[in-house]
Homo-oligomer: A and B are copies of this chain.
Amino acid sequence: MKAKIITIGDEILIGQIVDTNSAWMATELNKAGIAVDEILSISDDERTIIDTLSESLESHKLTLVTGGLGPTKDDITKRALCKLFDCDMKNDVRSYEHNEKMLTERGIGFTELNKEQSLVPSVCRVLFNRNGTAPGMLFERNGHFLASMPGVPYEMKAIFSEELSPLFAEMTEGGCVMHRTMITTGIAESILAQKIEAWENALPEGIKLAYLPNPNGVRLRLSSYTLPAEQASAYIEQAFASLGELIPEYIIGYEDATVEKVVAAMLTESGRTLSVAESCTGGRISSRFTAMAGASAYYLGGVTSYSNDVKAEVLGVSRDDLEKFGAVSEPVARAMAEGVRRLTGSDYALSTTGIAGPDGGTAEKPVGTVWMAVATPHGTIAEKRVFNAERAVTIERASAFVIDMLRKELLNEKNGSER
């Protein structure tokens, strides 16, 4: 079964917002065994909406539409749907009562605009929106389905998961699409490709490999579109098992694994704690840990020491070292990690100090130069890298690199203690 995702809104076509909804829906659809063969963004124009939806309803078993359901005048999807399905609007009582209650509780007031939010095309089945005022809608024509949902991500996600996905089982009829992804870090794409060339050439017929690089590393995805589920699963498992023997040091996990998730799990399990001293990464490392629920189990806190005074006075970095070696140097990186470890009483501590750019580079220390350190109960290690990238990418890479230094350290300790 093939599905198509359509997002409506000039804000996407003029580049004002990035469409993150489609990636999320595509992931969920694939998990349900439904392949997406097109993702399309179109304009807030009634004729374009009607024509595009009508065409997709013919060519695809399932069409998912987001956007254009807000309370304001520029949101015209509902009117277009009435025309497409040749029907009037009706009031959905459950949504009306929910909207009245929600807005009153928030103290926003239940305006005329908000009252119109619970009007839906009369032929649709309502997909209840517990997080917002615009209900989702499901339509059917000749065994093909079209679902329309609001574009606000957490509203759409709840409607999709709770109201729409229970219907997928009926729709899929046993087809199988399978993807599995191994996450690597610390190795460049072309070097990785060379290392695993023989493995790649030996992949069984029907198993497809893709390399997906990002600032955190290279993801390796194996896919099957044609094999029976059991065979696909066995082939993929076997292929990843032999890869695990080939490049064990670079593998951090599968699917949405990240270095920070791996480190968080290891720290939580062992009851150890972490603190962070950041200069060039400016809070990004703390942010990556605290973005995950449950961070307070191991993350004590951190210091973003942008100025030399904060490095010296809060973290206790020697003024002499700052003067003699400069802020971007091995002794300063070490002293920052050791300083924040002492200050917070954590078991482990990370630090970064570097030149994120675009300015501030020198011949000796070009833009992208970063010193990173990991302080542990039995000593401190430090490494330097020159990240050849723009400011945002350097911040990402340095964050990932130093978190991976800690991952390796924790792994060594674990293996050491098991020996």
Chain A positions within 8 Å of B, measured between CB atoms, are 9-20, 22-30, 35-44, 48, 70-74, 103, 106, 108-109, 111, 113-114, 152, 154, 179, 181, 188-191, 193-194, 200, 208-214, 219, 221, 223, 275-276, 278, 281-287, 289-291, 293-296, 299-307, 309-310, 313-314, 343-345, 356-359, 388-393, 395
Q: Is the CB of A22 within 8 A of B44?
A: no
Contact of A287 among B109, B191, B282 (CB under 8 A): B282
Asked whether A12 lies within 8 Å of B39 as measured between CB atoms, the reply is yes
Chain B positions within 8 Å of A18 at CB level: 18-20, 23
In the complex the two chains form, what is the Cα distance from A61 to B24 in whole Å?
32
Asked if A293 and B14 sit within 8 Å, CB to CB, the answer is no
Q: Collect the chain B residues with CB atoms within 8 Å of residue A190's CB.
A: 71, 103, 108, 111, 113-114
Contact: B37 with A40, CB < 8 Å? no
Nearest residue, chain B, Cβ from A24:
B15
Q: How far in angstroms is the closest Cβ of chain B from A31?
A: 9
**Is B16 touching A357 in the complex (CB atoms < 8 A)?**
no
Verify B27–A23 contact, CB threshold 8 A: no
Q: A212-B17, A291-B391 are in contact. Are A309 and B41 (CB under 8 A)?
A: no
CA distance A299 to B282 in the complex (A): 10
A179 CB, min distance to chain B CBs, angstroms: 5
Find chain B residues with CB under 8 A from A287 CB: 282-284, 286-287
Shortest Cβ distance from residue A371 to the other chain B in the assembled complex, whole angstroms: 17
10 A-B residue contacts at CB 8 Å?
A11-B212, A18-B19, A19-B23, A44-B210, A109-B191, A114-B190, A275-B310, A281-B290, A301-B305, A313-B343
Residue of B nearest to A191 (CB): B108
A343 to B315, CA, bound (A): 11
Partner of A113, one of B30, B193, B359: B193
B282 with A286: CB separation less than 8 A: yes
Contact A16 B309 (CB under 8 A): no
> Chain B contacts of A395 at CB under 8 A?
290-291
Contact residues in B for A23 (Cβ distance below 8 Å): 12, 15-19
New contact pairs (17) apart from A16-B27, A73-B209, CB-CB < 8 Å: A10-B210, A10-B221, A10-B223, A14-B179, A15-B30, A17-B23, A18-B19, A19-B22, A22-B41, A276-B304, A290-B356, A291-B395, A301-B303, A302-B303, A309-B345, A314-B343, A314-B344
Chain B residues, CB < 8 A from A223 = 10, 14
**Closest CB of chain B to A239's CB: distance in Å?**
15
Residue of B nearest to A393 (CB): B154
Kindly list chain B residues whose C-beta atoms are within 8 Å of the C-beta of A15: 22-30, 36
Distance from A203 Cβ to chain B, minimum over Cβ atoms (Å): 10
Asked if A290 and B306 make an inter-chain contact with CB atoms under 8 angstroms apart, the answer reads yes
Q: From known contacts A10-B223, A37-B42, infer whether A295 and B314 are also in contact, taking CB-CB under 8 Å.
A: no
Are B36 and A14 interface neighbours, CB within 8 A? Answer: yes
Most chain B CB inside 10 Å of its own CB: which residue of A27, A296, A299: A296
A214 CA / B39 CA spacing, docked (Å): 22
Between A16, A194, A309, A314, the greatest number of chain B beta carbons within 10 A of the residue's beta carbon is seen for: A16
Q: What residues of B have a CB within 8 angstroms of the CB of A284 in the complex?
A: 283, 287, 290-291
A6 shortest CB reach to chain B, Å: 10
List of B residues within 8 angstroms of A29 by Cβ? 15
Contact flag A219-B16 (CB < 8 Å), given A193-B72, A300-B306:
yes
Residue pair B286, A211 in contact (C-beta under 8 Å): no
B74 near A211 with CB under 8 A, answer: yes
B291 touches A282 (CB 8 A): yes
